[in-house]
């Protein structure tokens, strides 16, 4: 199961106008891992980068907010990746264009694998511990982060109970040794047959000696 960690839901646009979500498949490389798109100067219809223009005080205020939000979003998602490792994949951002013509992330999401390890409850426990740590890695986990951690904790508890039950079942089954073979078992008959043969041989030897 792949659970989305919508770590930082998009905030309302900091400047008038709708935010710009990433297109399907954008920011992904051939291995389906996130490739964070760095912001770059906007270009005009001819492809030339727009020359910088002096921003007024309001634009400067908006730009500071966008830059701070962009850092917050990227740091948040990168915290999930750093702790989750190979359990975390994908990644998408929702952007907003600032007054300087550059795009800034205002929301983000990564995905994390919360599936059980088949037929191995102990491995599932270890995996869910990693999921929980990854979900709670950011300094301020979102509500979705907390939900994923709770889901992983429930799976972990279930797997831990299965592991304990299997361990107790194994401990309750006594080991069977040769000395515990029931009377009349094939092994007992075989032993008696050999023992009887040896006794008969010894008796015949004693008779010959007396003769």
Beta bridge partners of 96: 104
Asked whether 85 and 130 are in contact (CB, 8 A), the reply is yes
Is pTM beyond 0.75? Reply is no
Q: What's the CA gap between 77 and 111, in Å, rounded?
A: 10
User: Longest Cα pair distance anywhere in the chain, in angstroms?
Assistant: 131
Residue 35: partners with Cβ closer than 8 Å, 6 or more residues away? 27, 28, 29
DSSP state for residue 28 in the 8-state scheme: B
pLDDT, residue 208, reads 40
Whole-number pLDDT of residue 2 = 57
Tell me the pairing of strands 2-8 and 20-21: unpaired
The CA dihedral of 194, 195, 199, 202, to the nearest 10 degrees, is 60
Rounded to an integer, what distance in angstroms lies between the CA atom of residue 178 and that of residue 206? 32
CA dist 105 and 126 (Å) reads: 33
H-type alpha helices, 136-185: 143-172
pLDDT per residue rounded down to tens, the chain (211 residues):
556 664 555 665 665 444 555 543 344 333 323 222 333 334 444 444 444 568 899 999 999 999 999 999 999 999 999 999 999 998 899 999 999 999 999 999 999 999 999 999 999 999 999 999 999 999 999 999 999 999 999 999 999 999 999 988 877 666 555 555 555 555 445 545 545 545 555 455 544 445 4
Instruction: State both tokens at 60.
Output: 């400067």
**To which residue do tokens 């007054």 refer?**
99
Q: Element (H or E) spanning 207, and its range? A: helix 186-210
CA angle 73, 77, 78 (to 5 degrees): 115
Quick check: 23 and 15 in contact, CB under 8 A?
Answer: no
In the chain, domain spans: 2-170
């Amino acid at each position: 199961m792949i659970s989305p960690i919508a770590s930082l839901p998009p905030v309302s646009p900091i400047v008038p106008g709708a935010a710009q979500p990433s297109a399907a498949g954008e920011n992904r490389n051939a291995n389906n891992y996130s490739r964070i798109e760095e912001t770059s100067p906007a270009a005009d219809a001819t492809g030339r980068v727009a020359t910088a223009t002096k921003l007024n005080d309001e634009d400067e205020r908006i730009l500071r907010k966008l830059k701070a939000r962009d850092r917050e979003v990227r740091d948040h998602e990168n915290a999930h990746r750093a702790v989750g490792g190979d359990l975390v994949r994908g990644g998408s951002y929702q952007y907003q264009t600032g007054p300087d013509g550059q795009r800034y992330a205002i929301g983000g999401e990564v995905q994390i694998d919360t599936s059980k390890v088949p037929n191995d409850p102990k491995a599932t426990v270890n995996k869910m511990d990693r999921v929980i740590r990854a979900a709670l890695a950011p300094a301020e986990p979102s509500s979705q982060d907390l939900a994923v951690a709770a889901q992983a904790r429930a799976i972990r508890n279930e797997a831990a109970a299965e592991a304990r039950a299997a361990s107790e079942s194994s401990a309750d089954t006594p080991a069977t040794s040769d000395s515990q073979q029931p009377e009349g078992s094939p092994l007992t008959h075989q032993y008696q047959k050999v023992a009887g043969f040896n006794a008969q041989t010894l008796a015949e030897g004693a008779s010959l000696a007396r003769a």
